[in-house]
Homo-oligomer: A and B are copies of this chain.
């Protein structure tokens, strides 16, 4: 199984606070944690040619992890379409935090994906609401993050196929923080935490959830179904 961690990689270059937390970039931190779990992982970033997502890269990617924020509009529509089609063909997709507003996620959801937000360094507590779900394997009843950006309801997404985590925020809001979706042959996991100015992706429990999600979104050994004109499988009576 081959993982590609994609990152916009802009905050790290501009903001010394972010650079200090993620000297190898957010993608680097996530990739390192996945490598520690034994996965085969590469990274790709916005400013590479084709955003690092050539056909060759996409075709060998089993699960794509996506982090973006301030440069969603710079991602080319052609690459977005290719990513979406790879998901339909079975590639797993993990969308992190501000990736809720990426072209890829919005296109796959069919909604505005809007939400409430606030940068106040407040406490977040992510509660497990589906203890049968493999994405929660090895996680306790909740994950506590001492400081995070707030995302609040209403989160304008389709009702998730499975709701795995719900967040409590110190400032009074709640949020559907771990959501699964299926699109074609592909599985998608949206996971809320990960504002760039906090060391969220160094948190062992957050890393564990992402690692579990890589496993859960992994493609099957299946072709896309056959679509289009179809011969009858049974005889049809003359009328």
Contact = CB atoms under 8 A, between A and B. Distances in A.
Most buried by B among A84, A139, A225, A226: A225
A220 B134 contact: yes
- Number of identical protomers: 4
A231 B118 contact: yes
B182 A132 contact: yes
A120 B236 contact: yes
A192 to B, nearest CB: 13
A120 B232 contact: yes
A141 B226 contact: yes
B111 A184 contact: yes
A14 interface: no
B127 A153 contact: yes
A176 B129 contact: yes
B173 A230 contact: yes
Interface in A104-128: 107-112, 114-118, 120-123, 125, 127-128
Contact of A137 (B129, B159, B172, B222): B222
A49 interface: no
Nearest to A134: B220
A38 interface: no
A77 interface: no
B170 A236 contact: yes
A234 B161 contact: no
B168 A181 contact: no
A122 B228 contact: no
Interface of A: 84, 88, 90, 107-112, 114-118, 120-123, 125, 127-134, 136-139, 141, 146-147, 150, 152-156, 158-159, 161-163, 166-174, 176, 181-187, 220-222, 224-234, 236-237, 239
13 contacts: A108-B110, A110-B110, A114-B228, A127-B174, A131-B154, A132-B183, A141-B226, A150-B232, A153-B166, A156-B225, A167-B174, A168-B174, A170-B234
